[in-house]
Structure 1
Amino acid sequence: MKYLGSSFILFSFMGLATQQALAADDWLSANAFTVTGNVTMATDYRFRGLSQTSNDPSVQGGLTLAHKSGFYVNLWASNVNLLPGNSIEADYYLGYQWKIDAKSTLDFQYINVNYPGVVKDYHPAFHEFGVIYSRNSTFKEGDNWTLSGYYSPEFAMKSGDEMYLNAAFSYPIYKTINLIGSVGYTKLDSVTKFQQAYGYGNTDHYMDYKVGLKTNIKGLDTELSWIDTDVKHGPKTTDGTVYFSIGKSF
């Protein structure tokens, strides 16, 4: 009986080790990962309502590697026209998406925003942390509602704490046509910090808005929107604009 008990314990440990090895293999298998991407051409690149291309067209692209557990990595880039020596924004995201239920998700993100080639004295690069709640098919099948918040402990131009809040929706109105809209709120520590970050303004906050239509035409994602801010006496990059984009997801 002594040897039988020892054998049972040994085989139990072997079985547990085998299960853990199989689980590890499954976690790292090719089927556990998905790769998606997109390329977009647009009349402008608007970040929180503000043009990053001096109201000129932009070409953007992104690539996402996601694991079935919910973790993902995203690389994203666009042309910009902001500062001397720089013409590209290149970002990366690290995130985890928690599926609350069949309709709701909660994303936790770390975002690193970079401007390769820029004159170092400007310090435009920054990082921030984000939380995004999304719910689908709340009032109608296919609708989407999103609430998000972002915080940067050291925003662009070393301007200190920055907070951004956003509420957005997409609502199907006819076949593949969706009505879209959003409202955002940006807040910095002080008027001085706002001016340090943006180079203008007599306030420490502003709001941005978007309303438009989005659809898919023969596999191409298209959007036609109006984007605006409540910034007063700012440069033309803060003015309202008609925005049009066409892109392909793969």
Structure 2
Amino acid sequence: MKYLGSSFILFSFMGLATQQAFAADDWFSSDAFTVTGNVTLATDYRFRGLSQTSNNPSVQGGLTLAHKSGFYVNLWASNVDLGLDGNSIEADYFLGYQWKIDEKSTLDFQYIDVNYPGVSDKTLHPDFGEFAAIYSRSGNIKEGDNITLSGYYSPEYAMKSGNEMYLNAAFSYPIYKSINLIGAVGYTKLDSVEKFQQAYGYGDKDHYMDYKVGFKTNIKGVDTELSWIDTDVKNGPKTTDGTVYFSIGKSF
């Protein structure tokens, strides 16, 4: 009996080890990963309503490596014109996990690292990192519609301006075939007027709002967007003014 008991324990451990090996093989198998990318040409690069290219066109591209477990890594870049000597590119990376709540809902948790390589004045510190939670639900009123609620927090925002919070609500609603009505409203908040001015170089408040309304469509795999983007910033530079935004992109 002692021999049989020892054998049972041995085979149990062997079985558990084999299952773990299979699980590890499954985790790192090529079928567990997907790679996707996108490239976009746009009349502007608007980040939270503000132009990052001095109201000039932008070229953007991204690459995502995703695991079937929900974890993913994303690399993204765009040309920028922020008046920073030596810099003309923004290069970011995202680390995230997407939890599929049900067939209609997902919840993403992200860390985003925003970088402006080449800045000659090292005392400016334009780079920053932030954390995000993004809830998305489809099929709320009509099949194909979508709402997204997101919150972002940076403990040390651009130019070492301290705490920054951004909240956003967005929707997409199909109106005709592949044409979708889109809209969004966002709210940015820093600790004080002084911190806001430190981050942006202007402003008489510690917060502002941004808006978007327009149309989006996908025709034969090509994504296009035509929208109006604006903010409630008063007496700011031209980069805060409202603009007609158009983009065309391709995912692969």
Residues in 2 aligned to 1:102 and 1:55: alpha-carbon distance in whole angstroms: 39
The answer to whether 1:128 aligns with 2:130 is: yes
Residues in 2 aligned to 1:50 and 1:38: alpha-carbon distance in whole angstroms: 22
- Structure-1 residue corresponding to 2:62: 62
- Structure-2 residue corresponding to 1:73: 73
User: Secondary structure of the residue that 2:85 maps to in structure 1?
Assistant: coil
Q: Which residue among 197, 214, 220 is the counterpart of 1:195?
A: 197
Residues in 1 aligned to 2:7 and 2:157: alpha-carbon distance in whole angstroms: 62
Name the TM-score, length of structure 1 as normaliser.
0.99
- Structure-2 residue corresponding to 1:151: 153
Residues in 1 aligned to 2:179 and 2:106: alpha-carbon distance in whole angstroms: 23
Residues in 2 aligned to 1:117 and 1:179: alpha-carbon distance in whole angstroms: 39
5 Å-filtered alignment, 1:96-245, equals: 96-119=97-120, 120-245=122-247
- Structure-1 residue corresponding to 2:35: 35
CA drift of 1:95 comes to: 0.4
* 1:54 maps to amino acid: S
* 1:183 maps to amino acid: V
Residues in 2 aligned to 1:186 and 1:207: alpha-carbon distance in whole angstroms: 6
The answer to whether 1:44 aligns with 2:44 is: yes
The answer to whether 1:7 aligns with 2:7 is: yes
Q: What stretches of structure 1 of length at least 5 have no aligned partner? A: none
Q: What stretches of structure 2 of length at least 5 have no aligned partner? A: none
CA drift of 1:60 comes to: 0.1
CA drift of 1:218 comes to: 2.2
Corresponding pairs, count = 250
User: Secondary structure of the residue that 1:20 maps to in structure 2?
Assistant: helix
The answer to whether 1:246 aligns with 2:248 is: yes
User: Secondary structure of the residue that 1:44 maps to in structure 2?
Assistant: coil
User: Secondary structure of the residue that 1:118 maps to in structure 2?
Assistant: coil
Residues in 2 aligned to 1:217 and 1:5: alpha-carbon distance in whole angstroms: 66
* 1:96 maps to amino acid: Y
* 2:3 maps to amino acid: Y
CA drift of 1:2 comes to: 2.0
Residues in 2 aligned to 1:208 and 1:111: alpha-carbon distance in whole angstroms: 20
The percent identity for this pair of structures is: 87
* 2:163 maps to amino acid: D
C-alpha RMSD of matched pairs (Å):
0.6
Once the two structures are superposed, what CA deviation does each residue of 1:53-82 show, in whole Å capped at 9, x if it has no partner?
000000000000000111000000000001
Residues in 2 aligned to 1:211 and 1:129: alpha-carbon distance in whole angstroms: 26
Runs of 4+ in 1 over 6 A off after TM superposition: none
User: Secondary structure of the residue that 2:11 maps to in structure 1?
Assistant: helix
* 2:216 maps to amino acid: K
- Structure-2 residue corresponding to 1:95: 96
Residues in 1 aligned to 2:251 and 2:185: alpha-carbon distance in whole angstroms: 25
* 1:227 maps to amino acid: I
